Amino acid sequence: MPRSMNKKIVMGGEGGQGVQAAADILAQAAYEEGKESLYIPNFGIEQRGGVSLAFVQLGTETIGSPKFDSAQLVVALSARSLQRLENYMMEESIILYDSSLLAPPSVDDRVVGWQSYDTIAPEAFAERSPSSKRQKFPQLKEKVRRIFGLPAMEIAREKLHTRVANMIILGATARLTEAVALESLQRALNSRLSQKFARDPHLKEWNFKALETGWKAAEEMLAGTAKRQQEGEL
């Protein structure tokens, strides 16, 4: 049987970080584009303090099963959620993590699969979030070719609002996977939060700007990887 070309994305974080909202909006955006889409939440009884996982499939092919064994993109907003998602990684997977919450991974000769590691970390953010204050990036058994760090929480805190850090991650997720258009994300977000946006126009501005910020950051990541490939570094 030919392998499905649908995108498979798994996201994880702590309860309250907005993982479920991001996954739901991503699936809704795909649906509004006429794609097949499926979003399945997975979390414990704790609304906050527990690990929250979300599984998304979307594309043009029929989704045969709600479960999958490996994901093209693994998104992690905490160390223990990344550990929980390790079983869904393969060498071709991309890991996207919030580098303002997790310290960069230690890459050495033993981790031969990590051939490309790129991060966008402005110096000001690095100074405010030294590695000693961030969660340690877990040692992964599975080889993963590309790992991208994006300081979403710090960008949100400095430029927008801490409530929209998950939307920065969502924008990057969509761009890295080429899953949906930015405009589709904005429409799905507007539909989901229309009442809140009507009460607070600034909230809409922050969320839309967050999506754009994540999208542009992912474009820089991909451009950096492409340049290194051309130069023979990867």
Digit-coded pLDDT (tens) for 190-233: 999 999 999 999 999 999 999 999 999 999 988 887 666 666 65
Phi-psi region of 34 (alpha: psi -120 to 50; beta: other; left: phi over 0): left
pTM of the model: 0.86
Residue the block writes with tokens 């992964």: 140
* pLDDT score of 162: 93
What is the pLDDT at residue 47?
56
Is the predicted pLDDT of residue 163 greater than 60, yes or no?
A: yes
Residue 44 has pLDDT above 70, yes or no: no
Question: Which residue, among 9, 180, 171, 3, has the nearest Cα to 89 in the 3D structure?
Answer: 9
What are the pLDDT digits (tens) for 70-106? Answer: 999 999 999 999 999 999 999 889 999 999 999 888 7
What value does the mean pLDDT take over residues 134-142? 85
Nearest to 35 by CA among 166, 181, 215: 181
Q: What is the pLDDT of residue 145?
A: 76
Q: What is the mean pLDDT of the chain?
A: 85
pLDDT at 49: 67
**What average pLDDT score do residues 52-56 get?**
95
Give Cα 58 distance to the centre of its chain. Answer: 15
Domains detected in the chain: 7-230 (3.40.920.10)
User: Measured on CA atoms in the order 19, 21, 22, 27, is the torsion positive or negative?
Assistant: positive
At position 28, the amino acid (one-letter code) is Q
